[in-house]
Amino acid sequence: MARFIFITGGVVSSLGKGLASAALGALLQARGYSVRLRKLDPYLNVDPGTMSPFEHGEVFVTDDGAETDLDLGHYERFTGVAARHTDSVSSGRIYSTVLEKERRGDYLGKTIQVIPHVTNEIKDFLSIGEDEVDFMLCEIGGTVGDIEGLPFFEAIRQFSQDKPRGQCIFMHLTLLPYIAASGELKTKPTQHSVKELRSIGIAPDVLVCRSEGPIPLKEREKLALFCNVRPDSVIAAQDLKSIYEAPLAYHKEGLDQAVLDAFGISPAPKPKLERWDDVSDRVFNPEGEVKVAIVGKYTQLEDAYKSIAEALTHGGMANRVKVKVEWVDAELFEKEDAAPHLEGFHAILVPGGFGERGTEGKIKAAQFARERKVPYLGICLGMQMAVIEAARNLANLGDAGSEEFDHEAGAKRFTPVVYHLKEWVQGNHKVRRKVDDNKGGTMRLGAYNAVLTEGSKVAEVYGQTAIEERHRHRYEVDIKYREQLEDCGLIFSGMSPDGRLPEIVEHKDHPWFIGVQFHPELKSKPFDPHPLFRDFVRAAKDVSRLV
């Protein structure tokens, strides 16, 4: 049965709990253990699928079609373990399950309460698949003391009591602010945060403290004394230049050792860290630099395209170059020439997105890349825009557009080269959708297979013709226009196995122009860069050498 590590946060949010959890997962793997990581989020949305990227950053999609928190992306990138829908839950999901059961009459006339009904539901969630791995790492979103978070804290407290002694530990992440005027690192906020945690019955075994610099021995001892943890279980988490330093940095600080000590595992198996040594070497010793423009809508918040930024970094690592990303707001050149905004980049990426705003700019970006022969990677909406660009400017369909924008505007203005998909095959059953369906969880979501055309650019990039990639979209390029577009040089080089849904397009007479209906960035890892990102950055590197 798995050992459980509960990761909580205090003092302030955004301290990098997800990253610390992911790095710890990687370190336990390096010691030969199997791990699974989970996120429990206190907000009331049933899942983050309906939240704006501005609010919550990117929505991470699992193979089995769940729309989850972006921390699951960190978990996958650091451990390589594919997340499942059972690895992410929110208060909203828990409450909606409890209320559904109540309506069904499952509680047999009882009064439904937070304790035990809500907490039991959370505990049931924690137990899913507990026999499958050595360690289950469960991160609680938010900070201790948040009202919505209380049922989760109560549930993990109970859960640790239900299990045999020594099977669960608690790791708490806090901030040590540095007061420049007095030159001091302050421990008081951490002491208060631990006090808060202990008042709800949870005593941390390991304290991870974010700080700008190292934690002097005096402060470490003070924290240990006042927070009732062992001095060697006070782990400094200093600011890092790259997130990919985290596993080695935490290892140097003794995090994995402290965790194994807390479980009483002795002697601890020796870690094999070669994978992370190699990753660090590639991050810190690039042999060149490429500049990539990401032309999007959610450019003010980098977290909105988290996995894309990381996948580009991985592509850089594979090619030993630093990828310098610049976020270009597509709306900037809706009405003016795109060239001044896009010249000087070695490659252009148009990411996924929803709604019409900014799309004319994205179409111009695709046109610029096609005409100037700049490497172009279009992801989901970025592929759809590349198709619309080709339809308008090469295939004489001047009013080509997406039904998505007509639906939004409530008017019919475009020839729907991209249309609303209402029926498709998933595994061996048919999925049906209507335009006015609920918004939550109703897209074409999760892993689907695609078949690549032998001899195409993309088949060469993948080195195979059968692939499986993750999807998250409602609209689809209409194969009705295939012949017309292929005659103009836009080849449909990847299709769904039934031949109905275009998965990949590429321009025949272009060094590197690929649009994909899926999200390859979700499967890229620093130690296993996604082939599309690896080759896209290679193409950018080729361009950088020419200029």
User: Does the annotation count 117 as an active-site position?
Assistant: no
Nearer of residues 352 and 494 to ligand GLN, judged by Cβ: 352
Q: What is the DSSP string of 274-337?
A: HHHHHHHHHHH--S-EEEEEEEES-TT-GGGGHHHHHHHHHHHHHHT-EEEEEEEEGGGGSSS-
Residue given tokens 């692939």 in the structure block: 467
The least CB distance from residue 70 to ligand GLN, in Å, is 14
- Rounded-to-integer distance, Cα 505 and Cα 485, Å: 10
Nearer of residues 243 and 330 to ligand GLN, judged by Cβ: 330
- Chain residue at closest Cβ approach to ligand GLN: 352
**Which listed residue (168, 380, 476, 503) is catalytic?**
380
Binding mask 27-56 toward ligand GLN (x if CB under 6 A, else -) reads ------------------------------
The least CB distance from residue 197 to ligand GLN, in Å, is 38
Nearer of residues 67 and 310 to ligand GLN, judged by Cβ: 67
The least CB distance from residue 163 to ligand GLN, in Å, is 40
Q: Does 381 bind ligand GLN (CB under 6 A)?
A: yes
Q: Does 474 bind ligand GLN (CB under 6 A)?
A: yes
DSSP 196: H
**Which listed residue (67, 476, 503, 521) is catalytic?**
521
Q: Does 159 bind ligand GLN (CB under 6 A)?
A: no
User: Does the annotation count 336 as an active-site position?
Assistant: no
DSSP 430: E
Phi-psi map region of 526: left, alpha, beta (phi>0 left; psi -120 to 50 alpha): alpha
The least CB distance from residue 33 to ligand GLN, in Å, is 35
Phi, psi of 341 (to 5 degrees): -80, -20
Phi, psi of 166 (to 5 degrees): 85, 5
Q: Count the residues of the shown chain that bind ligand GLN, applying the rule CB under 6 A.
A: 10
The least CB distance from residue 468 to ligand GLN, in Å, is 17
| Structural Rg of the chain based on CA atoms | 25
The least CB distance from residue 53 to ligand GLN, in Å, is 10
Q: Which stretch binds ligand GLN (CB under 6 A): 19-27, 112-120, 204-212, 352-360?
A: 352-360
Nearer of residues 325 and 380 to ligand GLN, judged by Cβ: 380
Q: Does 472 bind ligand GLN (CB under 6 A)?
A: yes
Per DSSP, which regions of 334-399 are E strands? 347-350, 376-379
- Rounded-to-integer distance, Cα 525 and Cα 256, Å: 22
Bridge partners of 502, per DSSP, are 495
Alpha helices (H) along 49-201: 53-56, 71-79, 91-104, 119-127, 150-162, 188-199
Q: Evaluate the CA torsion angle 114, 115, 116, 122 in order and state its sign.
A: positive
The answer to whether the CB of 21 falls within 8 A of the CB of 75 is: yes
Q: Does 354 bind ligand GLN (CB under 6 A)?
A: yes
Nearer of residues 250 and 475 to ligand GLN, judged by Cβ: 475
Contact residues for 185 (Cβ-Cβ < 8 A; gap 6+) = 176, 177, 178, 179, 211, 213, 215, 216, 219
The least CB distance from residue 380 to ligand GLN, in Å, is 3
Q: Which stretch binds ligand GLN (CB under 6 A): 62-70, 163-171, 220-228, 473-481?
A: 473-481
Bridge partners of 171, per DSSP, are 7, 206
For ligand GLN, the binding residue among 151, 352, 358, 378 (CB under 6 A) is 352
For ligand GLN, the binding residue among 69, 205, 256, 404 (CB under 6 A) is 404
For ligand GLN, the binding residue among 49, 353, 416, 502 (CB under 6 A) is 353
For ligand GLN, the binding residue among 39, 297, 473, 534 (CB under 6 A) is 473
**How many residues does the structure list for the chain?**
547
Cα 391 to chain centroid distance, Å, stands at 32
For ligand GLN, the binding residue among 66, 173, 380, 388 (CB under 6 A) is 380
User: Does the annotation count 289 as an active-site position?
Assistant: no
The least CB distance from residue 303 to ligand GLN, in Å, is 16
Binding mask 418-457 toward ligand GLN (x if CB under 6 A, else -) reads ----------------------------------------
- Rounded-to-integer distance, Cα 77 and Cα 261, Å: 26
Helix (H) or strand (E) run with residue 475 in it: strand 475-477
Helix (H) or strand (E) run with residue 206 in it: strand 206-211
Which residues of this chain interact with ligand GLN, rule CB under 6 A? 352-354, 380-381, 404, 472-475
Tell me the catalytic residues. 380, 519, 521
